[in-house]
Structure formats: structure tokens, C-alpha cells
Structure 1
Amino acid sequence: MATETKQQSPHLKRFHYTQDVAVDKPFNWQQMVRLLQYLKPYSKKILPIAIIAMLVSTIVRLVVPILVGRVAIDMAIDNGNTNLLIQLVVGIAILYLFSYIGNMVRIKYVNLLGQNVIYDLRRHLFSHVQHLSNRFFDKKSAGSIIVRIMNDINSLQELFTNGIINLLMDIIMLVSIIVILFVLSPQLAAAVVIIIPIMFYISTKLRKNIRRSWQQVRIQQSRLNSHLNESIQGIRITQSFAQERENTEFFEGVNSDNFDRWQTATRKSAMFRPFVEMSNAFGTAILLGFGAFLIIQGSLTVGTFFTFALFIGMFWEPISRLGQMYNQLLMAMSASERIFEFLDEEPNVKEKEDALPLNDVSGHIEFDNVQFAYDDERIALDDISLEMKPGQSVALVGHTGSGKTTIANLISRFYDPTKGAVKIDGTDLRDVKLDDLRQQISVVLQDTFIFSGTIMENIRFGRPDASDEEVIDAAKVVGADEFIQRLADGYETEVEERGNILSAGERQLLSFARALLADPRIIILDEATASIDTETEVKIQDALKRLLEGRTSIIIAHRLSTIRDSDNIIVLENGHILEQGNHDELMAHGGEYYGLVRSQFQALEQM
């Protein structure tokens, strides 16, 4: 059914044309060593306890078969020594008690170790992503970032909770068993373990395929999460265009491909265990045949043969687990590649080691022959020079793509200019501390973001140490207090993700209150009143004046009526400054600004 749906949907054809970026690489042991570095903080307390507990239970497992075969059968039973047999039974019971305690301690501490490592890794990745530049988020979808922080790190949990200690235990077990077998009977041991080189050769052939399959699983999971994130955020658009069926079909295709990749990867991984069991069967057949021959010849005792049989049963167990562990390592490597891809990402906007503090800012902004391009194909700003004096209100106007938002982004240092310099109070922004700079700037966007939490917490976001009274005062200044008081719990009202219980205008008023409370020297309003109706806008004009009073303000607006009182209006086109001046000067000049005002005035008249 999923296949038929995929063939019918045009969206799914687009999906299937997406290029697969899974690549074949050798197993990267350096990367695995790097991953294991996260064990270091626990290498003095938790890890040693887990290893000691593992060694206790492993030693017991190795000693018991020798006691049963060589002592119980060859010495006690053959000689009718009942006392020795009783002592042996008591001794083995005590050993198993130690093994039980060892296993309990091992399980407790490896789980504690694993949870701590996963916690540290997720915190490290999230913290790193928080400090990456805007260029990174321009290239990466929210879904792909979520996959790495959640799914990819979760896939490492088994490796750190059980895998590492079990790997060490199985290697010790396997090497010890081989040594013991050769000590007991070199002839029989050589005959039994001859199957290992053949098994190793065939298993290596499976590794490349298995690893590539798990890579593809991770890629497909990223696509699935990206689509889910996009679908949920865009649900209103989907419903408004009645595209629920098409979107469901597209999801069916993505989900189906994710299912297929998982099926393929697990099927290939599952081939290893039956192969080990088949090898076990061959080894057991050799043991029975050749072991019986040696007993008849008198070169092997029944007790030694029984010990051999016990060890052979134990021998294939760690081999099977090592095969599963290798699959786990492949999954971990696939996930760690994607995690380290993000951790190795360097921010384009970097703070210098000797960055200067930025205190007592007056808000004097200069653009000195600034050029900026988001990519090699299009220059967003071309040799821009301008000045914004302290406390001045500067409006940026122009058609879409003229460079208005780019100027705002450069002032906040979300990007660095390709050429030239942006300065505040005469200091190049590249020379100052980023936190100091951004604490001096508040940005109010058209699509303001409201976080899950209370109204109080959202207003306080830019200044966490503000008192409740200061929060309420800020809300009153911008006219938000009136609607907040009407809410069921007032300032303690819980708002849902993105503030969906609030209207667009109410969300914007909250963003004004948030900006005012932060008390910045520079305020950027990027289409900040576009989501507010004309009546509401009139009500908050006084509030905006108080918000901008004494501060350098950069106002980006298509609604030109909101900027006519600005001290300086800069008209942009294709990254160039066409003209600048106040409203009266530009209208008298009769240039581009005059044309924009006239066209908007005519449009309003026609309405």
C-alpha cells in the first residue's frame, strides 16, 4: 500500500529524487577514541568500580568449568572422594554468590556511567549549537538539529551503558578461554579454534554493508524529523490550502522509506548471529569427534573433555556478543559522525580572545564602506557608508531584498561584513565581546517568538534578574498590561509554544515589553508593527516613543506612515543607498521615497 501511495503522489517523486549522501568510509577508530573521551570525568570513580565488578564475575565464570571438570570429575568422582565433592559444591556456591554481587554492582555502575555520559554529550552539543552563527541555521533545518541532539545521542546510550564494559568483558573472556583450552589440550584446542579465521574472513565482508545501512537509517531519520517539524509548524498553511491529503501521502512516503531502511539495516545485522551459531555447530562437531578419539587413545581425560565442552559453550557466546557489539559500534559511529559534524562546526562570527568589553554605550553606529554577501552569487550590501547618531531614530525603507534586514543583522553582529567595518562608538564590532554587544541591543521582529511559560517569564526573558514590579511597569508602558490583566491568571498565565493562545498584536506587545525591560541602548524594529492593526498601532505610538526615547533606533517598515517622524530615513535599493534625509526633505526631493509614499497613499485611497 505504501509503495502504491508513493507512486501516486507528485510530492513523493520529488522526495525520491533527493540524493542519498551516505558514503563508504573505513571504520574511524580516531573518532571512536574521541567519543570515548567523554568517559574521562568518570575514570576515577564510576568506571573502575564497574571494571572491578566485571572482573569478579568473569573470573568466577572461568574458574567454575575447571573446578567441575578437572576437580569434581577427575579427582572427586573418579576417586570417590565425597568430602572433596562437598567442599567443591560449597566453594562453587560461594563463587556464584560473588558473581551475583559483581553483576549487580556492574549493572548499577555501567548504567550510571552511561546516563552521565549521555547527559554530558547532549549538554555539550546543545551548548555548542547555541553559540553557532546564523549561517549555520540558514543551512540546517530545525528537524536535522533535533535529530542529532535527541535521536543520534540516544543511539549511543546502549554503547555507554552496556557496550564498553561488555566489550572489555567479552575480550577478556575470549582470550582467557583460548589460553585455557590450549593449556588443557593443545591438539583439541587447535582443532576447535581453526574455524575462527574462516569466521573472521566472512564476517569482515558483512561489515561494510551493515555500516552503510545504518548510515542510511540516520539520514532517513533526519529527513523524517525535518518533515515532521515543517509539517507541524506549517499546519495552518496546510489546512488553509486543503493539502492535508497530499501532506499525509508525502509523510507516508518518508515514513515508508524510513521503515524500509530500518528493515534493511536490521536484516543485515541479524545475519551475524545465525552465522556465529552455525560456526558453533561446526566447533561442537569437531569437539565431539576429535575429543572422543583422544579419550579412546588415552591422551584426554573425561573431566578435561567435559571442561572443554563447557568452555566451548562459553566460547561462542562472547563471539556472538562481539558481533552484536560490532553492529552497535557501527550504529554508534554513524551517529557520532553526525554529532561531531555539528561539534566541529565553527561559528562564522567569532569573538577574539582579547575582545574588548563594551560598557557605557552611547549608541553611535557607523558603517564604513561595508560590503556583505550571504553567498558568492548575490551581494546584499555594496560599499555602504552611513552614520546613526546617538539617540537618533533611523528608518530603513526599500523593496524586498534591498538590504534593510541585512543592515540590522550586521549591527547585531549575526554576520560579519565581507569588507569594511561596522562600528559602535568608534569601535569595530569584531573587536568587542559578543555578549556585551548584544546586551546593548534589543530586536523586535514581525514574527515575534513567545516561549512556553508564563507571561511574566516571557517579558523577563532578556533580563532574568528583573523584579515582578519592573516587569509589570514595562508592560504598562507599552500598553500590554491591559490585555494581560484580562487573562485568567494575569501575568502568571501559561502560554503555549509560540504563544498560540495570544493574538498577533498581543504577542507583539509582549515583545515590546521584553525589549523595554532589557533597557538597551540600541533598538531594532524589523517590521515590528506589521502584525498589528491600525487601531492598535495608534494606541501604541506613544508607548513606542517612550520605548525609543534616548535610544538609537533602527526601524524597518513597509508601512511608511510609521516612520515619517524618524530623524533620518535611508532609502535602499539592491544593496545601495539611493537617498537619505527626513520625511520632509525626501518628499521635497521627489525621488524614490516620494514615489513609495505616493504609491502607498494611492493604494489606501483605492481601498
Structure 2
Amino acid sequence: MSETTGRDRPAPARRRGPGGGGPFGGANMPAEKAMNFGPSARRLLGRLRPESLGLVFVVLLAVVSVTFNVLGPKLLGEGTNIVVAGFVSKSLPAGVTQQQVIDGLRAKGETQQADMLSGMTLTPGHGIDFTALSHVLLLVLVLYVLSSIFSWLQAYILNGITMRTVYRLRKDVEAKIHRLPLKYFDTMPRGELLSRVTNDIDNVQQSLQQTMSQVVTSLLTVVGVLVLMFVISPLLALIALVSIPLTLVVTVLIARRSQKMFVAQWRHTGTLNAQIEETYTGHAIVKVFGRQREVNERFAAKNEELYKASFGAQFVSGIIQPSMQFVGNLVFVAIAVVGGLQVAAGIIQIGDVQAFIQYSRQFTQPLAQLGSMANLLQSGVASAERVFELLDADEESEDPAEPASLGATEGRLEFEDVSFRYAEDKPLIDDLSLVAEPGQTVAIVGPTGAGKTTLVNLIMRFYEVDSGRIALDGIDITELTRRELRSRIGMVLQDTWLFAGTIRENIAYGRPDATEQEIVDAATASYVDRFVRSLPDGYDTVLDDDASNISAGEKQLLTIARAFLARPSVLILDEATSSVDTRTELLVQKAMSALREGRTSFVIAHRLSTIRDADLILVMEAGHIVEQGTHAQLLAAGGAYYTLYNAQFAGAVTDEV
């Protein structure tokens, strides 16, 4: 709908990147205030609610997988105990009991060695029990294989959950865009909007994919490992617990700082996209006025801001994992020292210390992973904030619950005391009243900013009137659905819009069910057929995104053919022939005269020669109709229209010195 933006209205304040008003510069966009991480994260997680059953299944699979995985070190510790006990038993004399050996050592004063042996299960004279050892190792192998299978299933299901969640988010954003008023697009740079719809949603998807599975697994691993650590040694478990508050303090301190940087990173990404899109659109103008250097300088400045924000966000959040590893290493040293003392005292066995050291690694590693995922989570939530801002934007007013029905439309349009303004403190149209009878051609002329295109936007309900009413065939247009209203109105604008597709598809855009003959008839009436026939592929010629493979005048003719094919009751032509040559314009004017018969037509024109045969000419100034009548009547009156006409057709004035 961007082609409907009025050229004669005062531009609303635009939130733009550096360069605000066009390709050549402007004020910097003010920094946006970041939303709180917590509410945004909860809202993002809330979008997973439709997948609750799948998430429960994922958690169950994760519980089983983690349980099998954390049992491994405990069983391997038992295997180590079997090996150590075998070596020690082999060195002891056969025929005595373990207690006799211990008592003998105590009698010799070797109390420490006796304490250590008391913590083992020994059979003096026997070696390693390979049968028991093989059973343990086979059990560990089975547990690890099952853990991997359940982990794979968990990841597979969770990937589907993430994809469906982002799919629904994209659908909601797409639906939201169609419910937004034209005012939103007038105040939002296109590049910034595209960045939210593409880059930010992609980043949310990536963040969910990379973090959800790891977060679930890491948290369950911490719980499972902690339970087994308490089973092995409560004292060592308490030492390991010291790492949790240290981890939380470090993570929170760093995360608070990096979250603001991630918000800035994605904000700068959006504004840079807006700047690039703006410059690319106006590339020819940039070249004509030789402003490449200024554009490059603006790009370099904004690119530098994005670099600094991105580098800062990644660097600060990247500190989390090394900090977690440092805390984990401190805990590892403490466990090794205290564990060695407990083995020497016979409180636990060597295999238990081995298992506990493995558990200490498994305990700190998930904490470090959670820390390293903080940057992904913060980046994803920062992007989610921007998407939620779009989803929370004010929408068009609701269509009536019980809309009126037009039936066969005659095309009588009536403005009754209509007032409208884009900005509260800048009145544009005040108490405007006019009637366009069925079949009449009403031309609207006046200087730029007079409110000509604004009238069109109000008829189409792109904007809502502040007061008064607009009626179509006696029915207030607010009592109709927008779809019903707009289906009765055809519109051709000065700024053409064609999409990537065939010429046939572009003409039939307003009536996809039109027959081939109807398409050809509309093309013939608007003088499209004659140039289409000269193309190698005719109506199957594929236009690119910008329709750059046809001329500007041919683009305009295609949009006219599209409007004709729609069979509207009301026809709106906003400088519709401005891009065609004089000869073609005369032909199109003849075709329009025939096609306008039985239709109410509004023609906005700056070239007054194109509207001399209009049934009614309205002259607007500052939102008011200052004159109305036919071409001959207005010239005879010698007023504002007379001045405009003479200014356009008078010969060049030469000042004599």
C-alpha cells in the first residue's frame, strides 16, 4: 500500500536511521529504551504453550537420557574399585581375612594404611575379578548408548517444536502487517520493518534452536549429578555447591550489561538496513547529485556503530564461559584435595573420588554451558522484543460486527463536514463537504499540501476521519467492511507498483478469476495490448521485482489496465497519466472517457489540460474547497483556478534589466 501515500500532505514524524529524511542526511534516530529481559523472555516462552504436550515428552526423554548418562561415572567408579581392590588383594597373603590384615597393620602402628584398607572390599590372595569388571563395563556401555538414543529423540522432537513456534510467529507477524494502518508504514522505515520481519525472527529461531535443548539437558544434569554427589560424599557435594552462587553472581552481573548491548546491536542492524534500502531505492538520485561520498560516510558511521555494539555484546557475554570455567577449576582443586584426604582416612574409595571428579566436571560444565548460552538468549530476547513491538502496534479499527451491504453500487460519494489532520497540532481538512454524483468525473486540483491525495486516502479508509462522515450510496463507509468498500473502488497512482510475475498476472491482480478475453479487452482499452504484442513472450513476459524490463510509461499503462479490469464503481486516478507520453496520454484519456461512463471518477491532476472535460473541478487550498465548477466556469470566475491555469500555460517571463 505504500504507493497510496499522499504527496500533498505534511510528512508525519518518521523514526529513521541516520539520514532520516532522504538519501542525503538528517538527524540521528534517538536510542530506543530496552524492554526488561524477564517479561520479554516469559512472553517468548509463552508462545511455546501450544506445544505443551510435546515439551512434556521432551522433558521425559531428557530425564531418561540424563539419568543414564549421570549413572555412568558412578558405575565406572565401581569398576575402578574392582581393579584397585584386585591389585591390593593380590599383594596380600592368602588364607587371611581383610580384618586380620587391618588389625595387623594397626598393631604395627600403620594406622593410616589400615584406615585406607578398611574402606575397601578385599579378598587377600585373589586378583582382579574380571567377570564383575566386564559386567560393569557392559552395563556402562548400554547406558551410554541408550542415553544417546534418547538424547537424539529429544533433539528431533524439540527441533520440530521450535520450527512450528517460529512458523506461528511468522504467520502472526504477516497477519499483523495486514491489520496495521497506513500511518504505521508512514512512520516506520521500510528497511527497519524488513529487518524485524526477517533478521529478528531468524535470530529468535536460531536462539531457540541452540538453547532450548541445552538448557533442559544442562539443568537436569546439574540436578542428577548433585543427587549422586550427595550419595557418594555429602562433604564433597557441599564443596561443589559453592560454585552455584558464584556462577549466578557472575552471570547476572555480566548479563545485565550485555543485554543492553544486544538490544543496541539489533537496533543498529535495523537502522542500517533502512539506510541501505533507502540509498538503494534512490541510487540514481545519489549518482545524479554526486553524493556518493556523503552516502558512504553515513554508511561507514552507522556500520561503525553496529560494529561497536556487536563487538561489545559478544565480548561481554563471551566473558561468562571463561568465568564459569575458572570457578569450576577452583572447585575441582578443592574436591581433589579433600577427596584425597577422605580416601586416606578410609571414608570413601579411590573409585568414588574418580567418579566424584567426573561429576564435578559434569556439574560445572552445564553451569558453564548455561553461562555461554546467556549471550544467545540475550540476543534472541532482544530480537523478540523488536518483533513484539511490531505485534503490539496499534491496528486499524475493527470492521463492524454486522456490516452494511451495498448491493449494486451507483457510485454516489458524499463528504459531510469532514475534518482530518495527520498531526494533532496541524489541521489539514476542516468541515469539508462535497457530493460526487453517479457517473460524474470530479477533478481535484490545487497546490502541493492542499489535501488532494488525503481525500483519496479517506475514501479508501487508509486513514479515518476525525469528524464528519463519508457516504457511498448513502451508507457511511465506516459501516462497511474495508474489503467491501475497496472492492468497489479502482485506483491508479502516479507511483506504479508491479510485482515479479507475468504481465497477465499483473493485470489480473484485482480480479484473479478474470477470463483471458477480459484481460485482453482491458489491455486493449488501456493501450497495453499494442506494446505487449511486440514482446517475444507477449502476455507471458515475466517482469522482474522492479519491472525494469519495461518503460515507466508502460508500467503506468499496466496499472491502468489493472484498474479497468476490476470493474470498479468508483475510479480514483492520482496523476495516473504522468508517466506516459503526450500521444499516449491523449489515447488513454479517450479510453478513460468511455470507461468512466457510469462510474464516479476522482481525478487528481497537476496538468490542468487533462481535466478540462471534467464534470466538476474542485480547487483546494489548505484543506478547503475554495472554488468549484466546470473548466469554463472557473476560468470565467478569474479566481484560484484561473491563476493556476495561467501559471501553467503562460509563456516564459523575461525580466528586463
Please give the TM-score of this superposition, normalised by the length of structure 2.
0.86
Q: Deviations over 1:137-179 (max 9, x none)?
A: 1110100100100011011112322322321221111122222
8 A contact 2:79–2:136 mirrored in 1: yes
Which residue of 2 is the match for residue 505 of structure 1? 553
Paired letter, 2:75: L
1: CA distance, partners of 2:509 / 2:221: 56
8 A contact 2:24–2:291 mirrored in 1: no
Superposition pairs of residues 222-301 of structure 1, within 5 angstroms: 222-301=270-349
Partner of residue 81 from structure 2, selected from 68, 74, 82:
74
Q: Which has the higher contact order (CA 8 A, sep 6+)?
A: 2
Partner of residue 490 from structure 1, selected from 520, 529, 538:
538
Determine helix, strand or coil for the equivalent of 1:366.
strand
Partner of residue 360 from structure 1, selected from 400, 403, 408:
408
Paired letter, 1:512: I
Which residue of 1 is the match for residue 641 of structure 2? 593
Q: Deviations over 1:438-471 (max 9, x none)?
A: 1111111011111111111111111122222221
2: CA distance, partners of 1:114 / 1:358: 46
Which residue of 1 is the match for residue 185 of structure 2? 137
Paired letter, 1:86: S
Q: Does 1:23 align with 2:33?
A: yes
After the TM superposition, which of the residue ranges 164-173 and 476-485 deviates more from structure 2? 164-173
Higher relative helix content: 1
Q: Does 1:39 align with 2:48?
A: yes
Superposition pairs of residues 297-336 of structure 1, within 5 angstroms: 297-336=345-384
8 A contact 1:76–1:84 mirrored in 2: no
- How far apart are 1:562 and its partner, in Å? 0.9
1: CA distance, partners of 2:470 / 2:410: 15
CA-atom RMSD, angstroms?
A: 2.1
Which residue of 1 is the match for residue 386 of structure 2? 338
Q: Deviations over 1:394-427 (max 9, x none)?
A: 1101111111111111000100111111111112
Determine helix, strand or coil for the equivalent of 1:570.
strand
After the TM superposition, which of the residue ranges 572-581 and 298-307 deviates more from structure 2? 298-307
Determine helix, strand or coil for the equivalent of 2:393.
coil
1: CA distance, partners of 2:164 / 2:203: 15
8 A contact 1:402–1:574 mirrored in 2: yes
- How far apart are 1:39 and its partner, in Å? 2.5
2: CA distance, partners of 1:385 / 1:22: 42
2: CA distance, partners of 1:96 / 1:604: 92
- How far apart are 1:65 and its partner, in Å? 1.2
Partner of residue 62 from structure 2, selected from 54, 71, 94:
54
Paired letter, 1:511: T
Cα 1:196–1:13 change in 2 (3 A) is farther
Determine helix, strand or coil for the equivalent of 1:580.
strand
Paired letter, 2:48: L
8 A contact 1:446–1:527 mirrored in 2: yes
8 A contact 2:490–2:571 mirrored in 1: yes
Which residue of 2 is the match for residue 523 of structure 1? 571
Q: Deviations over 1:506-548 (max 9, x none)?
A: 0110001100111111111011111222111012122112332
2: CA distance, partners of 1:22 / 1:390: 50
Q: Does 1:430 align with 2:478?
A: yes
8 A contact 2:23–2:295 mirrored in 1: no
- How far apart are 1:323 and its partner, in Å? 1.1
- How far apart are 1:24 and its partner, in Å? 5.3
Q: Does 1:469 align with 2:517?
A: yes
2: CA distance, partners of 1:22 / 1:571: 43
2: CA distance, partners of 1:42 / 1:360: 48
Q: Deviations over 1:250-273 (max 9, x none)?
A: 212222221221111110011001
Q: Does 1:563 align with 2:571?
A: no
2: CA distance, partners of 1:576 / 1:75: 99
8 A contact 1:51–1:165 mirrored in 2: no
Please give the TM-score of this superposition, normalised by the length of structure 1.
0.93
Paired letter, 1:43: S
Paired letter, 2:426: R
8 A contact 1:276–1:320 mirrored in 2: yes
The aligned length equals 592
8 A contact 1:368–1:385 mirrored in 2: yes
Bigger CA radius of gyration: 2
Paired letter, 1:21: A
1: CA distance, partners of 2:350 / 2:298: 67
Q: Deviations over 1:361-408 (max 9, x none)?
A: 211111110110000232121110111111111110111111111111
Which residue of 2 is the match for residue 110 of structure 1? 158
Determine helix, strand or coil for the equivalent of 1:28.
helix
Q: Sequence identity of aligned pairs in percent?
A: 34
Which residue of 2 is the match for residue 444 of structure 1? 492
